Structure 1
Amino acid sequence: MKKQLVVVTGGSGFIAVHIILQLLQQGYAVRTTVRSLKKVALIHQMLTTGGVSDFTDLEVVSADLTSNQNWDQVMQGATYVMQVASPTPTLNFKNEDEMIRPAVDGVLRVLKAARNANVKRVVLTSAYGAIFAGHPNRTTPYTEADWSDLSAKNIHPYQKSKTLSEQAAWEFIQKDGRGLELASVNPVGVMGPVLANDYSHSNIQIEDLLTGKIKSVPKVDSGYVDVRDVASLHLLAMTQPQAKGERFLATTGETLSMLDVAAILRAHFPAFANQLPTKELPNIAVKVAAMTKPYLKMVAGLVGTYAETSNHKAVTELDWHPRSAATAIIATAQSMIDLGIVTAPKRQ
């Protein structure tokens, strides 16, 4: 029997490669896109680290979200599409359209090609950023019913890009989908095992904490979720009939401060204890620093904000059961130690 083909966009990405791992382990054929075929060796290396070394059912092809080229061929014969790729957030953008336009256009490009190839369902990797931004006086956990309020002041262009691209996807399905199904997965901070020294911005936080780069942490609360559970939620959203037309918040439902994260690392990796911060920065210090350091702008917008989330929908409707946030954080650190990305400081 011919295996069902799933297209996964952006195959070298942290979430995408874990999705590919689980698809191959569950007997699907996978065709994944990369901007450059130079990434093939990296994808094979990460999958091997993750436990898959037979690439018979994996095809890697070149396609870029910013160009129409190849997308029609990419979709040929596919039953499902995981639209994971996203233009990487540039920190030194001149205007926010540099982030927003490619994100919106890229999603629409994939949806059009999927519809034209009679794909059954697309699962869109959206983000918590499309849910929580612009709600200053929140007191109840965020759910899938929430959308970021883009009329609010000081919303980071990355959050705008995630919100507008997801909204564009739902609008396309409604007006031009012609029966194409859509589900979205909106993860909070994604942790879990890195499979090579190429990983997402949320993991860099763990590397910076372990290596002592961060002396004091901003007062930022966040939800965390393991990448393996984000991947399994994508597969549930792809296959379960009841996921059609629905959004799913990928969160453990726990909220941790950055100091909590440091404490988890200290308890499990005592060799790094002296590198890990024990103090929080005053909010005003973070905001002042962000005026001259663009990479702090997103963090500055999050200090002191409410960040509780609920996973009730994914748990009850899709029978999804994520690992704890601590497990995800420990797995990130352990994988970085195992791969030699971080090394314990020498004893004095």
Structure 2
Amino acid sequence: MAELVLVTGGSGYVAGWCIAELLNRGYDVRTTVRGPGKEESLTQAVSTVADPAGRLTFAVADLLADDGWDAAVKGVDRVLHVASPLGITAGDPAAMIAAARDGTLRVLRAATAAGVKRVVMTSAANTASPSSYATEGTTDETLWTDPDDPTLIPYRRSKTLAERAAWDFMSGHEGPTELTTVLPGAVFGPILSTGTIGSVGIIGRMISGSMPGVPRIGLEIVDVRDIADIHLRAMTAPAAAGERFLATGEFTWMREMAHFLRDGLGPHGHKVSTRQIPDFAVRLTARFRDPSLREITPSLGRRNRHSTDKASRMLGWHPRPAKQTVLNCAQSLIAHGAV
């Protein structure tokens, strides 16, 4: 019999691709949704790249509540805890942190009580980054972001505290369940539906011309399909138990992304602006006109990178080139009518 894998937060961008990859590799999948009514749309989205017939089931469970998690993990062999509270608690930093940390603990309590073999948790590369945004160089999984750094944006603090809580919980667990964490970079790539766009909306804005220029920000671009792949590798590799794995891609300035799109999309790329917005202009706009930009200002000009040598050595994982990911993402958005 095929193993049954639970994927939390099935309607999310990364989770959808994890579900598809699991189905394509012969697993049965159960996924959580926060409420009834999303099953049909999620099944349709996944069916564009995988066959879910008879092998995809659903459970209702919310990171913010205890109800539903014991039922969700019943009979499950492995868990991919991908769900993120980002969309649940937008605008409330304290609630975001609580949801990320407490939601993770709810999943782990249920999984360990059920004797699940392994939980793979989706963390973030920015939980393994220097606290100082001015730092350059390359870091690896041995580094932990300081959650008490007052300059941290709420999302980065929430991911750091949630992963810390997970490892602290597992350090006191003596049962058979193992924990592995995956730390992705900036995730782009094809979408499964317009309802699961996730972080790729920025590429849609670049294509539509609604971005008059690009800030001097660099991203370690990684393809969503490669993130799904590393989750499955981390789920099954014996040596992955108890390990953190950075899953970042090529460091790419946003201006380079703009050139990829402008030069690679033909007529669809003619609205893409390759103009570099000066740092001072971004800071002034963030201060006086658009407070939402304040979270990106510490990243202006930052060149810190993360090493994926561990994932390559232990899991045989290698991400595809950033240019391919950006163009595939844009082509998918266009094909789905999202721009």
Shorter-chain TM-score bucket reads: over 0.9
The answer on whether the counterparts of 2:30 and 2:57 sit within 8 Å (CA) in structure 1 is yes
Measured in 2, the distance between the counterparts of 1:199 and 1:129 equals: 22
Match of 1:93 in 2: 91
Q: Cα–Cα, structure 1 residues 325 and 296, in superposed 2: closer, same or farther, change >3 Å?
A: same
Distance 1:91 1:212, change over 3 A: farther
| Counterpart contact for 1:11–1:43, Cα < 8 Å | yes
Structure 1 residue 144, shift from structure 2 partner: 1.3
Using the TM superposition, give the Cα deviation of residue 278 of structure 1 relative to its aligned residue in structure 2, in angstroms.
Answer: 1.9
1:258-315 deviations in Å (ceiling 9; x for gaps): 1000001112112134311121112122122223534322222211212322211111
- CA RMSD, Structure 1 to Structure 2 (Å): 1.6
2:266 maps to what in 1? 270
Quick one: which amino acid aligns to residue 103 of structure 1? A
Match of 1:249 in 2: 246
Identity of aligned residues (%): 38
For structure 1, the residue ranges without an aligned partner over 5 or more in a row are: 343-348
What CA deviation, in whole Å up to 9, does each residue of 1:198-235 have, x standing for no partner? 23442011000000010111110110001010000000
Give the equivalent residue in structure 2 for 1:225: 222
Query: Which residue is 1:25 aligned to?
Result: 24
Worse-matched range after superposition: 116-125 or 84-93: 84-93
Report if the CA contact (8 A) 1:135-1:149 is conserved.
no
Separation in 2, partners of 1:13, 1:63: 14
Q: Choose the corresponding residue for 2:154, options 138, 157, 165.
A: 157
Instruction: Work out whether residues 5 and 76 of structure 2, in 8 Å CA contact, stay in contact via their aligned partners in 1.
Output: yes
Distance (Å, rounded) in 2 between the aligned partners of 1:130 and 1:89: 19
Report the equivalent of 1:16: 15
- What amino acid sits opposite 1:30 in the alignment? V
Whether the aligned pair in 2 keeps the contact of 1:142 and 1:308 (CA below 8 Å) is yes
Output the amino acid matched with 2:177.
L
Flag structure 2 segments of 5+ consecutive residues without an equivalent: none
Residue in structure 2 matched with residue 105 of structure 1 by the alignment: 102
Query: 41-50 or 70-79: which moved more?
Result: 41-50
Aligned residues: 338
Task: Return the match for 2:304 from 302, 307, 314.
Answer: 307
Distance 1:259 1:177, change over 3 A: farther
Q: Which runs of structure 2 are paired with 1:1-348 in the superposition (5 Å)?
A: 2-50=1-49, 52-89=50-87, 93-94=91-92, 96-132=93-129, 134-176=131-173, 178-252=175-249, 254-291=250-287, 292-342=289-339
Write the letter of the residue equivalent to 1:260.
E
What amino acid is the match of 1:196?
A: S
> Which residue identity lines up with residue 41 of structure 1 in the other structure?
E
CA contact (8 A) 2:115 2:175 kept: no
- State the shift of 1:130 in Å: 1.1
> How far apart in 1 are the matches of 2:198 and 2:304?
19
The aligned amino acid for 1:59 is: T
Aligned-partner Cα distance in 2 for 1:15–1:140: 28
Q: What is the alpha-carbon distance in structure 2 between the residues aligned to residue 6 and residue 239 of structure 1?
A: 11
